Amino acid sequence: MQVFQDTPAPAAPPTARNAASLELVVAVAANGIIGDRNRLPWHLPTDLKRFKALTIGHAMVMGRKTWEAIGRPLAERQSIVITRQPNFVAVGAECAGSLDEAIALVRRPGPVFCIGGEQIFREALPRATRMHMTEIAADFSGDARFPNFDRGAWREVVREEHPAGVDAPFAFAFVTCERIT
The residues spanned by each domain of the chain are 35-167
Q: Are 178 and 130 in contact (CB under 8 A)?
A: yes
Task: Name which of 145, 18, 123, 108 is nearest 62 in CA terms.
Answer: 123
Whether 1 shows a pLDDT value over 70: the answer reads no
Split at pLDDT 50, 70, 90, the class of 2 is very low
Split at pLDDT 50, 70, 90, the class of 167 is confident
Average pLDDT rounded to a whole number, residues 54-60: 98
Helix (H) or strand (E) run with residue 67 in it: helix 64-70
Neighbours of 5 (CB within 10 A): 6
Q: Which one is the CATH code of 35-167: 3.40.430.10, 3.90.1150.10, 3.90.1640.10, 3.30.70.150?
A: 3.40.430.10
pLDDT tens, 62-89? 999 999 999 999 999 999 999 999 899 9
